[in-house]
């Protein structure tokens, strides 16, 4: 039986774990949207009247009387008499609150990676992205696939037997985890598709279903590996780390213990491009078939 | 310094806001991740919160209250993300700078496991109170002000949440089935 103090200590220690850094791409997306996002101006004075001294309050009150009087005098002759509703006076923005013309200080020196915008992916359209500087496009077989706008494409039904998802890696992972539950990385294996696929096929805590197999994706040679995450590993799914991409300082973890994970590592004229898909425990044939359909639709440009 | 940036950003200075966002982004993201327990949802919530901060900043009456005000907007964004129930399938995760050491014993793993499950069973209301109080060390009255609820409600939520987490830790046996990551 834990004491209250034990629980508090454990909870506090546990809360210290986890992400603390906001990825630059998220910040860039925010800053990119500023010019199109209008600020909402307050209808009250910026400073609370309660904070002002009595002299200031009296000054404002007097000024208000003068403004009302001046406006009234100006409007009365034009209105042709009280009560017939003169033209509305449109408020002009306060000069003090007008946007500064100064530009954003540090625009990204390189263009943001191209990825389908967040939302549903239209059936019958080509959806473009850039991975490792390689442009490609794909199509989706049904209307329930959606993009997260940065790296993921999923069936919107979510986790569960009917769900499925892809990660398209902007930068190709270079290694796998030697001890997935302990966050212990194996040494990077380099950029050879064969070496990367071999490393994927031997991740502890997984069961190799097939591969590495030689396949073709978009007309380019690729290595394909399929594995499942064991359900009896000694950690939760989101603590089970699979592979990592140091250039983005990101790592893939399992969504669910028992998931099936499919990896394609494509050799595009010497550049490895990494795509991985996932279906969940108890999945029927459809999610896997649709993942394969999407991979089959990939065209490199 | 931050107050000066807030005032400039309130007047539409994008450069000042960029500096504020760089400073605030990490702390907001850390809180969102701890409330939502999902890196993708946390990123989305943080992005939405930062945009709302920019949009509504002119309405912040006291620039010195920027931090507490931004947490309030973040928690609202977390509610919205949780409501969407997107259950993003693909997961990417930032590698933790302080990776768990190899000396972490089995009991620590079990605690993390059980806490994770217990925490996920809590509502966002309860998670927010736990994170603001136990992660940010916010006093309860400040938590109440941040969330816009009476301090008695905060106390009640914290009590309920900690009771749930304690029950999770005291569970006799680890469950045989695992919950999907929401």
Q: How far is A275 from chain B (nearest CA, A)?
A: 11
The answer to whether residues A46 and A133 belong to one domain is no
Position A220 in a domain: yes
Position A109 in a domain: no
Position A9 in a domain: yes
Q: Tokens for B127?
A: 């998670």
Residue A40 or residue B129, greater confidence: B129
* Partner-chain contact B14 A39, CB within 8 Å: no
Position A214 in a domain: yes
**ipTM given for this complex:** 0.80
pTM of the model: 0.51
- Which of A5-9, A94-98, A206-210 has maximum average pLDDT? A206-210
Report the half-sphere exposure of A252 (CA within 13 A, side-chain side): 34
The answer to whether residues A142 and A197 belong to one domain is yes
Which of A17, A44, A75 is where one domain is finished? A75
Flag whether residue B171 sits within 8 Å of chain A, measured between CB atoms.
no
Write out the E strands in chain B. 92-94
Residues B56-72: pLDDT tens digits? 999 888 999 999 999 99
The answer to whether residues A172 and A232 belong to one domain is yes
The answer to whether residues A205 and A280 belong to one domain is yes
Residue A109: band (very low, low, confident or very high) from pLDDT cuts 50, 70, 90: very low
The answer to whether residues A132 and A273 belong to one domain is yes
Tell me how far apart the alpha carbons of residues B115 and A277 are, in angstroms, rounded to a whole number. Answer: 29
The answer to whether residues A64 and A127 belong to one domain is no
Position A97 in a domain: no
Would you state the pLDDT for residue A92?
32
* Partner-chain contact B25 A26, CB within 8 Å: yes
Q: Which of A261, A30, A246, A286 is nearest to A149 (CA)?
A: A30
**What total of structural domains would you count in chain A?**
2
Would you state the pLDDT for residue A7?
85
Residues of B in contact with A236 (CB under 8 A): 112-113, 116-117, 178, 181
Would you state the pLDDT for residue A97?
32
Residues A2-57: pLDDT tens digits? 677 788 988 998 898 877 788 888 999 899 988 888 888 765 433 333 344 554 44
Q: Tokens for A154?
A: 């999923």
Tell me how far apart the alpha carbons of residues B131 and B113 are, in angstroms, rounded to a whole number. Answer: 18
The answer to whether residues A176 and A293 belong to one domain is yes
Is residue B88 over pLDDT 80?
A: no
Would you state the pLDDT for residue A120?
84
Residue B172: band (very low, low, confident or very high) from pLDDT cuts 50, 70, 90: very low
3-state DSSP assignment of residue A251? strand
Residue B114 or residue B143, greater confidence: B143
Residue A231 or residue A50, greater confidence: A231
Position A245 in a domain: yes
The answer to whether residues A51 and A166 belong to one domain is no
Mean pLDDT for A74-82 is 38
Q: How many CB pairs under 8 A join A and B?
A: 249
Is residue A291 over pLDDT 90?
A: yes
Residues A45-77: pLDDT tens digits? 333 333 445 544 444 445 444 444 444 444 443
What is the rounded average pLDDT for all residues in chain A?
A: 76
Residue range of the domain that includes A36: 3-75
Residue B47: band (very low, low, confident or very high) from pLDDT cuts 50, 70, 90: very high
Residue A101: band (very low, low, confident or very high) from pLDDT cuts 50, 70, 90: very low
Alpha helices in A257-297 (DSSP H): 285-296
The answer to whether residues A30 and A173 belong to one domain is no
Which of A19, A47, A75 is where one domain is finished? A75
Residues A263-284: pLDDT tens digits? 999 999 999 999 999 988 888 8
Residues of A in contact with B169 (CB under 8 A): 2, 6-7, 10
* Partner-chain contact B54 A35, CB within 8 Å: no
Residues of B in contact with A16 (CB under 8 A): 135
Residue A94: band (very low, low, confident or very high) from pLDDT cuts 50, 70, 90: very low
Position A295 in a domain: yes
- For residue A132, the domain's CATH number is 3.40.1000
Residues of A in contact with B50 (CB under 8 A): 27, 30
Which of A22, A57, A75 is where one domain is finished? A75
Q: Tokens for A243?
A: 């592979």
Residue B39: band (very low, low, confident or very high) from pLDDT cuts 50, 70, 90: confident
* Partner-chain contact B88 A98, CB within 8 Å: no
Q: Tokens for A133?
A: 């500087």
Is residue A83 over pLDDT 80?
A: no
* Partner-chain contact A4 B166, CB within 8 Å: yes
Position A181 in a domain: yes
Mean pLDDT for B76-103 is 58
Would you state the pLDDT for residue A2?
65
Interface subset of A 204-233, CB within 8 angstroms of B: 231
Residues of B in contact with A4 (CB under 8 A): 162, 166
The answer to whether residues A31 and A131 belong to one domain is no
Mean pLDDT for A290-294 is 95
Residue A160: band (very low, low, confident or very high) from pLDDT cuts 50, 70, 90: low
Would you say the C-alpha torsion B66, B68, B73, B77 has a positive or negative sign?
A: positive
Mean pLDDT for B103-108 is 48
CA A298 to chain CA mean position, Å: 22
Tell me how far apart the alpha carbons of residues B95 and B88 are, in angstroms, rounded to a whole number. Answer: 19
Residues of B in contact with A20 (CB under 8 A): 26, 29-30, 97
Would you state the pLDDT for residue A36?
84
* Partner-chain contact B58 A42, CB within 8 Å: yes
Would you state the pLDDT for residue A191?
86
B147-151: long-range contacts (C-beta < 8 A, 24 or more apart)?
B147/B72, B147/B75, B148/B72
The answer to whether residues A271 and A126 belong to one domain is yes
Mean pLDDT for A276-300 is 91
Is residue B180 over pLDDT 70?
A: no
The answer to whether residues A150 and A293 belong to one domain is yes
Question: Which range has the worst mean pLDDT, A233-247, B79-93, B94-108?
Answer: B94-108
């Amino acid at each position: 039986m834990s004491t209250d103090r034990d629980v508090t200590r454990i909870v506090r220690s546990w809360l210290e774990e986890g992400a603390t850094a906001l990825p630059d791409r998220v910040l860039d997306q925010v800053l990119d949207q500023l010019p199109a996002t209008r600020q909402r101006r307050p209808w009250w004075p910026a400073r609370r009247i309660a904070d002002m001294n009595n002299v200031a309050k009296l000054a404002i009150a007097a000024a208000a009387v003068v403004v009302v009087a001046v406006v009234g005098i100006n409007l009365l002759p034009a209105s042709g008499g009280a009560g017939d509703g003169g033209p509305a006076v449109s408020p002009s923005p306060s000069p003090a609150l007008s946007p500064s013309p100064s530009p954003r200080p540090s625009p990204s020196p390189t263009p943001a990676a191209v990825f389908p915008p967040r939302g549903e992916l239209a059936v019958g359209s080509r959806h473009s992205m850039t991975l490792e500087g390689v442009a490609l496009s794909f199509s989706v077989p049904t209307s329930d696939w959606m993009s997260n706008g940065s790296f993921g494409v999923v069936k919107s039904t979510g986790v569960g037997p009917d769900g499925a998802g892809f990660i398209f890696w902007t930068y190709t992972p270079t290694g796998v985890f030697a001890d997935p539950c302990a966050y212990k990385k194996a040494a990077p294996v380099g950029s050879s598709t064969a070496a990367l696929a071999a490393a994927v096929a031997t991740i502890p805590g997984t069961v190799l279903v097939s591969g590495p197999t030689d396949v073709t994706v978009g007309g380019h040679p690729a290595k394909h590996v399929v594995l499942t995450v064991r359900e009896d590993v000694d950690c939760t799914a989101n603590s089970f780390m699979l592979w990592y991409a140091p250039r983005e300082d990101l790592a893939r973890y399992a969504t669910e213990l028992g998931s099936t994970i499919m990896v394609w590592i494509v050799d595009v004229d010497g550049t490895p491009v990494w795509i991985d898909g996932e279906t969940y425990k108890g999945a029927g044939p459809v999610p896997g078939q649709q993942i394969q359909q999407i991979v089959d639709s990939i065209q490199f440009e | 310094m931050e107050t000066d940036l807030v005032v400039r950003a309130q007047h539409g200075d994008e450069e000042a806001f960029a500096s504020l966002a760089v400073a605030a982004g990490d702390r907001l993201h850390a809180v969102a991740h701890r409330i939502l327990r999902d890196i993708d949802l946390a990123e989305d919530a943080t992005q939405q919160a930062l945009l709302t901060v920019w949009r509504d900043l002119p309405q912040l009456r006291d620039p010195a209250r920027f931090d507490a005000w931004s947490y309030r907007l973040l928690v609202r964004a977390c509610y919205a993300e949780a409501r969407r129930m997107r259950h993003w399938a693909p997961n990417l995760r930032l590698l933790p700078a302080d990776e768990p050491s190899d000396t972490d014993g089995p009991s620590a793993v079990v605690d993390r496991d059980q806490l994770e499950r217990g925490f996920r069973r809590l509502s966002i209301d309860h998670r927010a109170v736990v994170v603001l109080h136990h992660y940010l060390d916010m006093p309860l009255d400040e938590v109440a002000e941040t969330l816009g609820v009476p301090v008695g409600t905060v106390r009640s939520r914290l009590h309920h949440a900690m009771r749930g987490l304690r029950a999770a830790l005291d569970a006799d046996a680890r469950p045989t089935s695992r919950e999907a990551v929401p």
